């Protein structure tokens, strides 16, 4: 029996299926726009070959969910569809009572003191807060979040409001260690990059969100809460290298 020969378009489609980086909404719009361009181009002379090729590219983008331009820019607008994004975890132990550590985190305004990608966090009422992240553009990235779960001295969770440009969630767990050895702090931060052109604009910000960066942020937090001082650049370099003051 003769084996089925895989054509080039089929190979491209299979390859692209593993590199899906276009959200469902954009895929649908690409199919509609691509089909319209192809039909318009076919009604014209061969001089409109560019329209036909452009329409074909949009149709391919819609069918496969893959965009070479997005890949080059490091953008993936399919994040909202798949639930994927940036998920960071890290743990640190601080030599302070659990109640004091919890209260420090509960005042969300403290977070930009040690989380480097945050510009500011402002509480607007007991549960809601407004967040501003540093961005590689003139305009900052902003969103609102609600505290969705809290158990005093044990757990604090927050999540961005539905419809925010950035999907963000954070959970911090606090555990008192025996024999007065301080408090274990376990942090999980999640970010899903926004879609469309907004995603292109903030792609560089999300590239900086790594677990290594979170570890450095928590070492900065440790120094702040244990000494009551915000470390200088030189101090922070020592902390990052595990050198005590």
- Whether 126 contacts 150, CB under 8 Å: no
Comparing C-alpha atoms, which of 202, 70, 208, 77 is closest to residue 139? Answer: 202
Tokens of 12: 């491209």
Helix %, strand %, coil % for the chain, to 5?
Answer: 45, 25, 30
Q: Tell me, yes or no, if the pTM score tops 0.95.
A: no
Provide CATH code, domain 85-238: 3.30.530.20
- Give the span between the Cα atoms of 64 and 52, in whole angstroms: 18
Average pLDDT, the chain: 74
Residue ranges in the chain modelled with pLDDT below 50: 1-18, 25, 47, 73, 75, 79-84, 196-197, 201, 232-245
C-alpha 99, offset from chain centre: 30
pLDDT at 191: 83
pLDDT at 113: 96
For the stretch 172-229, pLDDT in tens is 999 999 998 999 999 999 887 665 445 554 555 666 778 899 999 999 999 999 998 6
Comparing C-alpha atoms, which of 156, 162, 141 is closest to residue 209? Answer: 141
Sorted by where each begins, the domain ranges of the chain are 11-73, 85-238
Q: Locate tokens 């969630």: which residue?
A: 169
């Amino acid at each position: 029996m003769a084996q089925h020969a895989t054509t080039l378009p089929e190979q491209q489609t299979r390859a692209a299926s593993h590199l899906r980086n276009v959200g469902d909404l954009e895929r649908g719009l690409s199919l509609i726009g691509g089909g319209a361009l192809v039909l318009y181009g076919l009604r014209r002379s061969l001089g409109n070959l560019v329209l036909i090729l452009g329409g074909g590219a949009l149709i391919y983008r819609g069918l496969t969910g893959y965009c070479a331009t997005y890949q080059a820019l490091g953008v993936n607008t399919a994040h909202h569809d798949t639930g994927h994004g940036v998920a960071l975890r890290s743990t640190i132990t601080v030599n302070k009572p659990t109640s004091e550590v919890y209260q420090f985190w509960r005042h969300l305004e403290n977070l930009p003191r040690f989380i480097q990608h945050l510009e500011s966090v402002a509480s607007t009422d007991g549960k809601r807060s407004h967040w501003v992240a540093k961005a590689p553009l003139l305009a900052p990235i902003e969103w609102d979040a609600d505290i969705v779960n809290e158990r005093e001295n044990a757990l604090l969770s927050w999540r961005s409001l539905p419809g925010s440009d950035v999907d963000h969630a954070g959970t911090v767990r606090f555990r008192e260690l025996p024999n007065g050895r301080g408090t274990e702090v376990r942090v999980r931060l999640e970010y899903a990059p926004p879609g469309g052109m907004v995603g292109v604009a903030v792609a560089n910000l999300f590239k900086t969100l790594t677990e290594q960066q979170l570890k450095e942020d928590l070492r900065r937090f440790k120094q702040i809460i244990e000494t009551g001082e915000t470390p200088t650049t030189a101090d922070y370099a020592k902390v990052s290298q595990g050198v005590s003051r």
